[in-house]
Structures are given as C-alpha cells and as structure tokens.
C-alpha cells in the first residue's frame, strides 16, 4: 500500500511537471513567433535581454554576477548589441579586445581579489552567451532571414524533441553515460534525421511564399543535419558545466524548463552555425 502511494505521488509530480513544461513551451514558442516575425529593434532588444539574463546565470556559478567583473561583462554585451545596430565599430573584435583589457586591468589592480578562472569565466560568458546568441538576430536580418532563421529552432528544439521520442522508443546504446545517462546513440541519430525531415517539410510548405528552388532546399536540409548534430554538443556542454558545479538548473525564469541557458543551450551554438552556412553558401 505504501509503495502504491509513493508511485502515485511520483506520477502526480511527473504529470504536473509535464503540464508545466508544456504550457511554458507553448508560451515560449508563441513569443518566439511574435518577436522573430517582427524582427528589427524588437528582436534585437529581446536578444539583448536574454543575453544579459543568460550571462547573469553563468556568472552566478563563478560568483561574479554582482561584482565588477560581471558589470564589465554586462556593459560589453550592451556595447556589442548596440554596435550591431549602430555600427560605431566595423570590427566587433575591438569590443572584445577592450573588454579583455578591462578584465585584465581589474585582475591586476584588484589582485588577489579575483581568481584566474573568474577572469576567464567573465570573458567566456560574453562570448558564449552574448555573442553567440546574437546570431539569432543576425540570421533574421540576412536576405530571406525571416525564412532561414527558423532553421535554428528546427535544428535545436526539433532535434531535441525528435531525439527524445526516438530515444524513448528505440534507445539502447548510451551516447554519454557519465554526462547524460538518458541520451542514446539511437536518439541522437533520430534527432538529426528528424531535424532534416522537419526542415524539408518546412521548406516545401514555405516554397510558394519564398520561391525556393530544389538546390536550396537540399542545401537547407543538409544545413539542418549539421546544425542538429552540433546542437547536441551545445546541449551536452551546458550539462557538463552544470555537473562540474553540481547544479540542477541555471535559473528558474521559465517554469518547468529552468533558466535561459537551460532552454537556449542548443540554440546558442546552433545560431552561429546556421548564420555562417547561410551567409557564405546560400
């Protein structure tokens, strides 16, 4: 009787979590539709806010989220996004260089207040979150970007959903047992194939609107496969950081999903890949 009660309670908790995740996911997709379709300054502002929140989540792990290092990181992120709009510097590397010099200056003149790994984390946070997430906006601003930008989500969230379904049904061989015991090789293959199929369906459905030829559809499907494969690296890398620091989630902003980094971990690494593939090949 006790075991049955425990099982029912666990089932209730799992069901509640599933419903919470589902509702949050629907709201998230709806907001993504609105912001990305709108594009322009609205999307730029949203990506800046998400980047700042994501950097805060990452900086919190290293205990610099409310310190001078974190402050410089937030300012550098704002400068980077303003430059995307205003182009006051033709090379974003200049912003990264100034930021690095500021970090090293704080490290030297405040020594030994900060540790080396905190300086590295501050720089990494700007690049990993702020810069890489900005490519979602940059992809949207490409010619036909209103069409191409959705490949980022098909590669990341589409791959994740496909991998989960295939893994539950057919998963036998563990892909990374120490890092993510539930992920399987079969699921990974299903994720890549699923992302490619979803992209093909998306391209065919949008063909009448954007007049896409067969060659471009084939190229986009291949892009989706590459992006999906890399998205899993982003997902596992974010999980590895959490395991290193023994935390369950980066934040609690999105009910049932965690923080910005928990939900956008694969998008972060997929966005620049899709941007550069589209920019140089299409």
Buried b (16+ CB within 10 A) or exposed e, 88-121: eeeeeeebbeebbebbeebbeeeeeebeeebbeb
pTM (predicted TM-score): 0.90
**Cα–Cα distance, 118 to 107 (Å, whole number):** 9
For the chain, list residues with pLDDT below 70: 1-4, 6-7, 11
pLDDT at 17: 72
CB 136 within 8 A of CB 47: yes
41-73 per-position pLDDT tens digit? 999 999 999 999 999 999 999 999 999 999 999
pLDDT at 192: 92
Name the residue ranges covered by the structural domains of the chain. 1-38, 39-141, 143-282
pLDDT at 7: 65
Do the strands 174-176 and 180-184 form a parallel or antiparallel pair, or are they unpaired?
antiparallel
């Amino acid at each position: 009787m006790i075991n049955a009660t425990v099982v029912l309670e666990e089932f209730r908790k799992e069901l509640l979590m599933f419903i919470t995740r589902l509702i949050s996911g629907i709201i998230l997709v709806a907001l993504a539709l609105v912001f990305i379709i709108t594009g322009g300054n609205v999307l730029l502002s949203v990506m800046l806010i998400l980047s700042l929140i994501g950097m805060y989540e990452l900086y919190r792990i290293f205990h610099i989220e409310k310190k001078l290092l974190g402050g410089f990181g937030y300012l550098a992120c704002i400068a980077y996004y303003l430059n995307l709009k205003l182009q006051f510097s033709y090379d974003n590397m200049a912003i990264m260089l100034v930021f690095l010099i500021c970090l090293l200056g704080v490290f030297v003149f405040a020594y030994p207040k900060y540790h080396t790994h905190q300086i590295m984390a501050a720089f990494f946070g700007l690049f990993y979150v702020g810069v890489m997430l900005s490519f979602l906006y940059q992809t949207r601003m490409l010619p036909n970007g209103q069409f191409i930008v959705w490949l980022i989500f098909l590669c990341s969230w589409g791959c994740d959903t496909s991998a989960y379904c295939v893994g539950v049904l057919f998963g036998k061989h563990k892909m990374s047992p120490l890092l993510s015991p539930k992920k399987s090789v079969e699921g990974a293959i299903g994720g890549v194939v699923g992302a490619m199929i979803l992209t093909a369906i998306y391209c065919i459905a949008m063909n009448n609107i954007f007049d896409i030829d067969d060659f471009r559809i084939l190229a986009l499907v291949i892009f989706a496969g590459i992006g999906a494969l890399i998205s899993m690296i982003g997902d596992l890398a974010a999980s590895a950081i959490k395991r290193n620091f023994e935390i369950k989630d980066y934040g609690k902003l999105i009910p049932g999903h965690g923080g910005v980094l928990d939900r956008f971990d694969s998008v972060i690494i997929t966005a620049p890949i899709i941007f550069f593939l589209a920019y140089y090949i299409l």
